[in-house]
Amino acid sequence: MNIIDSPYILSLDHEAYLPNEEYYHSMKDDYTTKYDDSTPPPPRQHKIKGGRSSKSFKNCGICGGVAKGFHFNSRGKVCDSCTAYFRRAVVHKRSFKCRFNENCQINTATRNSCRSCRMRACLAFGMNPNAVQPHHDPIGPVGPRQNTTYNSRPYQDQTPQQEYEYQQVYVQEASLSPCYSLQNQPSSSEISTPDKSRFFENAITYYKRKTEQRRLINCYGNFRKCFTDEPPEFRKIKYGEHIQPQCFRVDIGTFIMFLSDIKAFEGFSDEDRTLLLRNICIFSHFVEKHYLSMKYGGLAKQHLIYPDFTYVDLSDLDKVEIWSRTGKNIENQEEKELLSTATGPDEPNFDNVKRALLYAVKNSYNIITKAMIEYEMTDAEYIALLLIMLYNTDLPGISKDAIKLCQEKRNMVFKEWMEYYHRIGEPNSIAKIGNITLLLSVIKDSCAEVASGFHMIRVFKIFDYDKLLEELYL
């Protein structure tokens, strides 16, 4: 008697035994093919009372692949691939975000292209996260699971609030891309996939990636720090060393990549794009060092921190060293001799010029950094400042079409800025937006002083600088 025909098996009313029917028939087919030349008859179909027929759900109900059985309380049979994917996503608490409109087609060819829509399809097919057990080792479970109640109803029946709660459960470990994620890497997993439909939040995400790029570029040869969130050790430099020839353009290059990622100049002509780029490069170069000084606690020590993790100590202006192309900075002996013969008794005394320059730097540093601390500034507020200044309608020479487009983009920034505060539950959203907007006037005045300081450096030749700065300030 075939084991499937056993009265004991036929009396069971549980779907967990259904997959075994195909297994025993496959064993019978293999045995007949191996020891009998005749063609074996097709396997018999047995329908268990109260259960499902083995003919139903031949294909996976999620991706259409070869179905193997019922898993995690699914309404029909699913394939091994979708089963393993669902188990990994639940056990590791992964979160995925769709790059498009959350309606991607899931089949055997595209199931790995969008993990977010695949998870939604799993939930819609009845797969229950509560049915997934954590990984075990010989000692015991890897870690206790949170007693969180998951909604296993089809996705179409879930309310927006339930969908939001689902995202919160799995947001602990996000993916860098729709088809790849680094586990146990804080520096990578904390950076989520950008949402193209939200320009403001998209800019925040890409700014975090830009910060990560800088950290990796300036890790100073320490490979251990490449795989952590730990920034490089801050290195003290002389004032002006951060913009020495060939150095400043590295920072400009990463910044332009950031603007390209967020499609900041979409719709602008080449002439208007150039004007906007020059303006925002000056603003970014000035404001970001104050924001980083606030972020890394530089104000208490009067350390002006630059994006490449270097700093200038402004605590005592008399002790601040100015970088210049003197013999100490030149390795070529011929250049040293040429420079020594070029100096003479008419060379100006830079003490007064140096003091005036550094005093203006320190004054604006304290005013702006203290205001940022008082307003509890984060990446969101910095990006808001950046985008508002980017779409400046008062730039000389900008076209009327560009002015209209800048106004539209500014309105979009303020709208999405407020929506962002609403989503994160910021209680003082209106006050924060007002304070950051007021800070713009102070920053504009300080930027004008920076331009005067650059002309002072250029005229008196205080130190050599990257010639790219002349295209920004002249």
> Do 384 and 207 meet the contact criterion of CB atoms below 8 Å apart?
no
- DSSP summary character for residue 59: B
Q: How far is CA 333 from CA 322, 327, 330, 343, in A?
A: 22, 9, 8, 16
> Do 15 and 70 meet the contact criterion of CB atoms below 8 Å apart?
yes
- DSSP summary character for residue 220: T
- For the CA atoms of 393, 398, 404, 406, what is the dihedral angle to 10 degrees? -50
- The pLDDT value given to residue 312: 93
- The pLDDT value given to residue 451: 72
Tell me the DSSP string of 174-208: E-SBTTB--TT-HHHHTSPPP-TT-HHHHHHHHHH
φ, ψ at 209 (rounded to 5°): -65, -40
The 10s digit of each residue's pLDDT in 285-303 is: 889 999 999 999 999 999 9
Of residues 378, 374, 373, the one with CA closest to residue 421: 378
> Do 148 and 67 meet the contact criterion of CB atoms below 8 Å apart?
no
- The pLDDT value given to residue 313: 94
φ, ψ at 173 (rounded to 5°): -135, 100
**CA–CA distance, 307 with 213 (Å, rounded to integer):** 11
- The pLDDT value given to residue 215: 84
**CA–CA distance, 228 with 215 (Å, rounded to integer):** 10
- The pLDDT value given to residue 336: 47
Q: How many CB atoms lie within 10 A of CB 110?
A: 13
CATH T-level assignment (fold) for domain 80-175: Erythroid Transcription Factor GATA-1; Chain A (3.30.50)
**CA–CA distance, 142 with 138 (Å, rounded to integer):** 10
- The pLDDT value given to residue 3: 43
Of residues 336, 312, 353, the one with CA closest to residue 462: 353
- In the chain, the amino acid numbered 138 is P
Of residues 301, 318, 278, 423, the one with CA closest to residue 365: 301
- Look at the block and give the residue holding tokens 């020590």: 301
**Residue-wise pLDDT tens for the chain (474 aa)?**
444 444 443 444 444 434 444 544 544 444 444 444 445 555 544 444 444 444 444 789 998 888 988 888 898 899 989 998 999 899 888 888 887 888 888 988 888 888 889 999 999 999 999 888 876 544 444 454 444 444 444 444 444 444 444 444 443 333 333 333 333 333 433 445 556 678 999 999 999 998 888 888 877 666 776 777 777 788 999 888 877 777 777 788 889 999 999 999 999 999 999 999 989 988 998 899 999 999 999 999 999 999 888 999 999 888 888 877 544 444 455 544 544 444 443 444 456 767 778 888 899 999 999 999 999 999 999 999 999 999 999 999 999 999 999 999 999 999 999 999 999 998 889 999 999 989 988 888 888 777 777 777 777 777 777 777 777 766
> Do 317 and 242 meet the contact criterion of CB atoms below 8 Å apart?
no
How many helices (DSSP H) and strands (DSSP E) are in the chain? Answer: 15, 5
- The pLDDT value given to residue 368: 94
The 10s digit of each residue's pLDDT in 372-409 is: 999 999 999 999 999 999 999 999 999 999 999 999 99
**CA–CA distance, 311 with 58 (Å, rounded to integer):** 65
Question: What is the enclosing helix (H) or strand (E) of 303?
Answer: strand 303-305
CATH T-level assignment (fold) for domain 199-340+348-473: Retinoid X Receptor (1.10.565)
The 10s digit of each residue's pLDDT in 420-455 is: 999 999 888 999 999 998 998 888 888 877 777 777
